[in-house]
């Protein structure tokens, strides 16, 4: 394990006035690029089969988003009110979720069934047998971060469909619809915790750090050298896997005892908040040994133990 500071404490990025607060990936790219990245990461990886299957699942998300049915969105007045009060208009807790996300789930199941192993097929058939109410209960548990009683094998597929639904809404409304959230470590669009953070390159976002939503794929700005969980600026350290490119590090906080991965586009421009997280599980295992808890979930790999709540 090696530790490398990304920038020195005290080095503050500026100017805040011109910083684009929200970055939303183009609708046509988000899942397709991620699927490509997963395939790239799978090459020669010890978890090759897993990453390739995740690529299939992500490809299915791309296809489901492309034909996503018309779904109700907040009105302009509601969006304005939320912006004025620093509230996420599409909160996973309070937005009246439309069952239309289940259409995406059905499509995803059919798509991934084609190449699934017998064990995964069994999970998919189990999921297909659930009625609409049971799927809503499942979705509510995942979005609330209550993973104790959920079917962990089936959870990635339900999460994948929910990601498609929320990504549909976020990309339809666009970045200009959303303002800053009062709680800076939750997504300003859907109030979910981040899966990881990313140092972006290019355009107005160059060299800025964004937190990446675990549900709707929105990225929102947060200054560097600050814990993404408790906002402490003290006791922040960075750990990378020895011998790696250093494009993915674990950012740890002594104050709250948590970590979240940070991806650097200047070291690898193709890093993806979810794909690169899945491909660096070794880093999670290292953090687990230090007793640090992860502060945000990857919904493709939820666990009931190693999360800070």
Decide if residue 304 touches Zn ion (CB under 5 A): no
Max CA pair span of the chain:
55
Give the C-alpha separation, 171 to 159, whole Å: 18
Decide if residue 230 touches Zn ion (CB under 5 A): yes
117/235 with CB nearer Zn ion: 235
Give the C-alpha separation, 262 to 240, whole Å: 10
Map residues 204-223 to x or -, x wherever contact with Zn ion holds by CB under 5 A.
Answer: ---------x-xx-x-----
Q: Which of 71, 175, 207, 256 binds Zn ion (CB under 5 A)?
A: 256
* Shortest CB 137 distance to Zn ion, Å: 21
* Span 153-192, contacts to Zn ion by CB under 5 A: 187, 189-190, 192
Are residues 274 and 308 in contact, defined by beta-carbon separation less than 8 angstroms?
no
* Shortest CB 177 distance to Zn ion, Å: 13
Q: Which of 151, 255, 266, 288 binds Zn ion (CB under 5 A)?
A: 255
120/185 with CB nearer Zn ion: 185
Q: Which of 61, 120, 171, 229 binds Zn ion (CB under 5 A)?
A: 229
Judged by the rule CB under 5 A, the positions of this chain that interact with Zn ion are: 187, 189-190, 192, 213, 215-216, 218, 227, 229-230, 232, 253, 255-256
């Amino acid at each position: 394990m090696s530790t490398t500071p990304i920038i020195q404490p005290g080095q503050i990025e500026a100017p805040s006035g011109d910083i684009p607060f929200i970055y939303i990936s183009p609708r046509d790219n988000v899942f397709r690029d991620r699927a490509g990245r997963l395939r790239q990461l799978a090459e020669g990886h010890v978890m090759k089969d897993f990453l390739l299957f995740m690529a299939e699942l992500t490809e299915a998300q791309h296809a489901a988003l492309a034909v996503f049915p018309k779904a109700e969105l907040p009105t302009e007045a509601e969006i304005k009110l939320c912006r004025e009060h620093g509230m996420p208009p599409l909160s996973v807790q309070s937005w009246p979720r439309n069952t239309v996300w289940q259409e995406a789930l059905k499509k995803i199941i059919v798509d991934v069934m084609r190449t699934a192993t017998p064990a995964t097929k069994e999970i998919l058939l189990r999921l297909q047998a659930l009625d609409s109410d049971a799927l809503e209960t499942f979705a509510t548990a995942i979005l609330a971060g209550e993973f104790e009683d959920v079917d962990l094998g089936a959870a990635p597929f339900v999460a994948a469909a929910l990601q498609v639904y929320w990504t549909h809404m976020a990309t339809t409304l666009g970045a200009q619809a959303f303002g800053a959230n009062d709680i800076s470590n939750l997504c300003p669009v859907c109030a979910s915790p981040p899966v990881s953070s990313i140092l972006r390159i290019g355009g107005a976002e160059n060299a800025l750090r964004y937190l990446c939503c675990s549900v709707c794929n929105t990225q929102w700005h947060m200054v560097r050298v600050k814990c993404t969980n408790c906002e402490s600026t003290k006791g922040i350290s960075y750990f990378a896997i020895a011998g790696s490119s250093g494009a993915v590090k674990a950012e740890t906080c002594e104050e709250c005892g948590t970590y979240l991965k940070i991806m650097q586009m200047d070291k690898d421009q193709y890093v993806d908040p979810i794909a690169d997280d899945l491909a660096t599980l070794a880093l999670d295992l290292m953090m687990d040994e230090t007793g640090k808890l992860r502060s945000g979930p990857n919904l493709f790999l939820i666990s009931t133990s190693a999360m800070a709540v």
